[in-house]
């Protein structure tokens, strides 16, 4: 039995157009899965498809807005026709939005309710709820599937400034456990990966000044990370392949794998 062999699997990676989702799509492809790269940005999606092909894997891009159920349903139909029925769903769409970031000029009490809702629409509704509603029941009908949601260290302990994002990611942990319990009897496992800090598009402004130097926030993060560095996106791959593989993690559901260089273990 090969523990980490995903050949025969079809993995839908929503947010596969982004930094972490793209690296995870590559990692699942390297383990043998055929990949549906899903997102809105066709240019970045096609670039990821080409990178996977260049490394000997198979991927196709499917344009979809994760915040729209009908858009996901259309992508689902196209994916099933092109690659076969999905067996893995990796939800990596999400991110912080500067509009809801707390600053000296924009305190907590100034956060607009609509901006807060928009952040929940991205990280919870589009990030997890709608993709699980669209792809989960079909997996349950076939009695087989692994769903991996991307949380954040801020789901566990709310970080300063990114309060809406932290709240939405905390809800991701809760929804994941709910679905794990509901769908375990039907053969579908649902887990989260909690990344620590990985430089990407959505957090660039928080982590780096315009001249590329680290912000004071980056210095604080490194000071609180026992490994004293950011993660590299590829360092999330092992956790994803483990959770995706029914041979490796067939009795694992409703759990969370933290990949953070020790951030959540740091005290004094
Ligand atoms: N980087 C970190 O340190 C870190 C830490 C903890 C958790 N995370 C989480 O990891 C995940 C990936 O983020 P990242 O850091 O890799 O950022 P990123 O490079 O900005 O990727 C975000 C992705 O979300 C997708 N997305 C946003 N709205 C979407 C929508 N309506 N429909 C479909 N896709 C949508 C984007 O795709 P399109 O633009 O193509 O639509 C993009 O691929 C997010 O959930 C983020 O919260 C990141």
Q: What's the pLDDT at 206?
A: 86
d(CA 175, ligand 1 centre) in Å: 18
Q: Are 144 and 8 in contact (CB under 8 A)?
A: no
Higher-pLDDT residue of 1 and 243 is 243
Give 201's pLDDT tier (boundaries 50, 70, 90).
confident
Q: What's the pLDDT at 232?
A: 96
d(CA 202, ligand 1 centre) in Å: 7
- What residues contact residue 253 under an 8 Å CB cut-off, 6+ apart? 180, 184, 189, 190, 191
Task: Write out pLDDT tens, residues 208-228.
Answer: 999 999 999 999 999 999 999
Burial pattern 127-156, b for ≥16 Cβ within 10 A else e, equals: bbbbbbebbbeebbeeebbbbbbbbbbbbb
Q: Is the CB of 17 under 6 A from ligand 1?
A: yes
Nearest atom (ligand 1) to Cα of 93: 24
pLDDT (average), residues 120-137: 98
What is the percent of the chain with per-residue pLDDT over 70, rounded to a whole number?
100
> Which residues are known catalytic residues?
165
Residue whose Cα lies nearest atom 2 of ligand 1: it is 198
Fold category of 10-259 in CATH: Rossmann fold (3.40.50)
Residues in the chain: 268
> Could you give the angle at which helices 19-30 and 42-54 cross, rounded to 10 degrees?
30
Nearest atom (ligand 1) to Cα of 231: 3
Q: What's the pLDDT at 98?
A: 87
Task: Write out pLDDT tens, residues 225-242.
Answer: 999 999 999 999 999 999
Task: Report the mean per-residue pLDDT for the chain.
Answer: 97
Q: Is the CB of 202 under 6 A from ligand 1?
A: yes
Q: What's the pLDDT at 268?
A: 85
Nearest atom (ligand 1) to Cα of 20: 16
Half-sphere exposure of 134 (CA within 13 A, CB side): 30
Rounded Cα–Cα distance for residues 260 and 225 (Å): 8
Q: Are 62 and 38 in contact (CB under 8 A)?
A: yes
Q: In this model, does residue 1 exceed pLDDT 80?
A: no
Q: Is the CB of 23 under 6 A from ligand 1?
A: no
pLDDT (average), residues 12-40: 98
């Amino acid at each position: 039995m090969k523990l980490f062999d995903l050949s025969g699997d079809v993995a839908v990676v929503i947010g596969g157009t982004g930094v972490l989702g793209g690296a995870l799509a590559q990692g699942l492809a390297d383990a043998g899965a055929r990949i549906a790269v899903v997102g809105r940005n066709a240019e970045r999606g096609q670039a990821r498809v080409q990178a996977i092909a260049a490394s000997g894997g198979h991927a196709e891009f499917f344009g979809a807005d994760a915040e729209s159920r009908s858009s996901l349903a259309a992508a689902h139909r196209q994916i099933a026709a092109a690659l076969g029925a999905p067996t893995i769903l990796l939800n990596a769409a999400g991110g912080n939005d500067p509009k809801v970031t707390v600053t000296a000029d924009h305190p907590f009490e100034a956060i607009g309710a609509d901006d807060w809702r928009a952040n929940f629409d991205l990280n919870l509704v589009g990030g997890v709820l709608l993709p699980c509603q669209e792809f989960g029941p079909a997996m349950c009908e076939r009695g087989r599937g692994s769903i991996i949601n991307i949380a954040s260290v801020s789901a566990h302990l709310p970080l300063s400034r990114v309060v809406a994002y932290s709240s939405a990611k905390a809800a991701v942990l809760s929804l994941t456990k709910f679905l794990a319990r509901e769908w375990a009897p039907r053969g579908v496992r649902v887990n989260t990966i909690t990344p620590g800090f990985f430089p990407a598009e959505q957090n660039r402004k928080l982590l780096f000044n315009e001249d590329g130097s680290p912000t004071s926030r980056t210095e604080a993060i490194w000071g609180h990370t026992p490994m004293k560095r950011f993660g590299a996106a590829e360092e999330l791959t092992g956790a994803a392949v483990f959770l995706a593989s029914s041979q490796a993690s067939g009795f694992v559901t409703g759990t969370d794998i933290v990949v953070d260089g020790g951030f959540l273990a740091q005290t004094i």
